[in-house]
Each structure stands twice: as C-alpha cells, then as structure tokens.
C-alpha cells in the first residue's frame, strides 16, 4: 500500500495537507534548489516543487510524494524568504501599498509520473509606515515565509484585499491540490453529489 509523503518542512503545509489526507508522513527534501538560467519568475515554484518531490520520490518510489514551493512576485521580481531583518524590511517596504502575486507550485509523483501545477493569488497590502513594518518584524513572524509575511498570522493586518485562494498564500492550494491528486490517480475521484 502506498503511503503519502509531504516533501516539506513547512508547518503550514503540514497543517493544510491534513485537510486532504488523514494519514501522511513528512520527509524533508535535501535537494539543491538551483534554478536554470532564464526561468520565468512564474515558473519557479512548480520547478522547485518538482525538484523537492523528485529528491524524496527517488528514495521512496512506491509512495505518493507531494512537493510544494511558494514565492511572492512583485514587479517581475521573485521574493523568497528574507535572509535577515534588513531583507525583511526591504521586502515589506516594497510590498507596501501595492498588489503582488503569490504563486504556489505543487508536484505530485506517483508510480514514477510527475504532475505539476501552480496556483496564483493576488494580494494587495495597505500602505505601511516604517514603524508598522519594524513592529511586525519584531514579532519574528516574517523569517520563514516568502515575501516576509504570514497572511494567517499577525501579517493579516497588512493585507487590504485578496483575490484567489487564501490557502495558496499560506503555502498549499488545498482545493486545487485535492482535485489534481484525483486527476493523477493518487486519490479516488469524487463524483458529483458526494460529500467530503
């Protein structure tokens, strides 16, 4: 019997995958996240999700492996996780008063076949004062999150509006992932009228 493996150390992804799967294991990928030259910013998350999933699937070929990666894109620039407080400040200052796109790429590997997709969510920030930014950074919340904010936590007060999947911004587009897993044969397909 195949196991489900989440190839992510993110506590948010571990929480969210539980909305789809009652049983799963976490095995963190040790893959090198090296991007090919010329890759488009919007293709980065699905590419990195694939690398993470492939690294784990190579050691667990009989299991279903799910990888994910999230980036924030502002003005065609990819914002990953901040390196330090200065980096977090500059990211949040750049996001202040503007709209950006959060893209989470997912990869599903089953029986040696990989399916990838990416989900996009538009997020707009309120204009932020330097004091607001510094106070938020002092919470410690920005440091393990793409774009230096957590929409599900204290960072929620920075957000003016969102268009798209809230869970995508947290790091896993749960509803779309469930459907893609069904399409890939990793989960039984629900028929219309069935309940979850």
pLDDT per residue rounded down to tens, the chain (196 residues): 689 999 999 999 999 999 999 999 999 998 888 999 999 999 999 999 999 999 999 999 999 999 999 999 999 999 989 999 999 999 999 999 999 999 999 999 999 999 999 999 999 999 999 999 999 999 999 998 999 999 999 999 999 999 999 999 999 999 999 999 999 989 887 655 555 5
The enclosing domain of 63 has a CATH number of 3.90.950.10
List the domain range (segments joined by +) for residue 133.
4-183
Q: For residue 196, is it within any domain?
A: no
Determine phi and psi for 190, rounding to 5 degrees: -75, 140
Q: For residue 195, is it within any domain?
A: no
Where residue 75 falls (left for φ over 0; alpha for ψ -120 to 50; beta otherwise) is left
Residue 91's nearest CA partner among 100, 39, 69 is: 100
Instruction: Say which of 69, 76, 119, 194 is annotated catalytic.
Output: 69
Is residue 87 annotated as a catalytic residue, yes or no? no
CB 91 within 8 A of CB 98: no
Distance from C-alpha of 59 to C-alpha of 190, rounded to nearest angstrom? 30
Q: For residue 129, is it within any domain?
A: yes
Q: For residue 168, is it within any domain?
A: yes
**Total domains present in the chain:** 1
CB 13 within 8 A of CB 28: no
Q: For residue 26, is it within any domain?
A: yes
């Amino acid at each position: 019997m195949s196991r489900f493996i989440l190839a992510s150390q993110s506590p948010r992804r571990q929480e969210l995958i539980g909305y789809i799967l009652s049983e799963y294991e976490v095995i963190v990928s040790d893959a090198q996240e090296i991007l090919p030259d010329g890759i488009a910013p919007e293709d980065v998350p699905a590419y990195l999700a694939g690398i993470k999933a492939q690294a784990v699937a190579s050691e667990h070929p009989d299991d279903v492996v799910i990888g994910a990666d999230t980036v924030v894109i502002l003005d065609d620039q990819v914002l990953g996780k901040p390196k330090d407080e200065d980096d977090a400040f500059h990211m949040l200052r750049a996001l202040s008063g503007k709209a950006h796109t959060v893209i989470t790429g997912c990869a599903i590997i089953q029986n040696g076949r990989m399916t990838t997709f990416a989900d996009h969510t538009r997020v707009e920030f309120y204009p932020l004062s330097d004091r607001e930014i510094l106070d938020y950074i002092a919470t410690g919340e920005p440091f393990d999150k793409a774009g230096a904010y957590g929409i599900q936590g204290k960072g929620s007060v920075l957000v003016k509006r969102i268009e798209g999947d809230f869970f995508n911004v947290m790091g896993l587009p749960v509803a779309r992932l469930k459907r893609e897993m069904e399409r890939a044969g990793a989960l039984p397909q629900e028929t219309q009228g069935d309940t979850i």
